[in-house]
Amino acid sequence: MPSLNLQPATVSDYRTLAERRVPRGLFDYLDGGAGEEVSLRQNATDFENLRLRQRVLRDVSKVDTSTSLFGAPLKMPLILAPVGMAGMMARRAEVQAKRAADKAGIPFCLSTVGICPTEEVAAVSNMPFWFQLYMLKDRGIVKEMLDHVWAQGIRTLVFTVDLAVMGARYRDVRNGLTGGLTGWKRLRAGPVDYAMHPRWLYDVALRGRPHHFGNIARYVKTGGSVVDFQQWLGGQFDASVTWKDIAWLRTIWSGTLVLKGILDPEDARETVKVGADGMIVSNHGGRQLDGVSSGIAMLPRIADAVGSETTLLVDGGVRNGQDVVKALANGAKAALIGRPWVYAVAGAGQAGGERVLSPLPHEIANALGGTGVPPAGEGGGRAIDSN
């Protein structure tokens, strides 16, 4: 565990800072996964087990980490993933993350269940950002939300498709957060735990209000606490969603549509068939169904199936620039990080968010140069050692 006197250098360091500064129940909600957390651990382990293919005497004098994604330029092939409840880990965390993403020249994706609303995030700058949404039982609300985010200038929609049922998260059970989002009122982060985290108490609990889901506030007619919002949302999750509903979504959203939570080649083919512009190969950060494969493990199979027909992204376990290059080499156009940016912002604010991103271009360039593949957009299989 690094000393507080040392400058954090890795995602692991920022995780340590976040663990010290965020109440236990909230930290476990961010940090934990489903079941025994096998898939959660495997996400990172599968990246670690991939080996880069070192090549020499190739002209890498002009290594380029930039790329383009859905017609937009990126300084590196990375996106800040949507993370629910992020604004409970740090004061208005989504706003701080957007500023950090803007500085890094990459997109930020706002979660439906983020604390900050689209208007607050849009006010940061005129740089575009993405929005993530679930299919709700009330399709009228879905359409109204899409109209609203379109009016905010958002043109890329990330639609999460792997939340038909809530994952069994044992850490949440131990903390009293049973029943998923609707069980928030039973969270056992009591006075002693809060007292042990005075920085969080002052900066987030007191200065970070309001503590509700800003993007669904207009639809919750009673109450106003985070519990009221979570109960409303828990009643809106729709376990009956099928590909027909995604086809309907495609008819009402004229912007870029990316499905998040694809982990099987057959589902990848359906994603292409339904008209989505891309997909995120993902097991929801190991938070939904334990014992499934990681995104990076399934990415090559999905790339073989549909890689020439669509844009592939991947998340889960990405911790450094080498992991990003490994994702590119397995068929992704870019990778997403979720927990890392929240750890950093929770541990050190916007400056932490900027610092956790700042070494990545160098790390990506180093890996591209060492594998003899100068442009980030041409990672291909050449960068991975098949032995």
Residues involved in catalysis: 284
CB 278 within 8 A of CB 313: yes
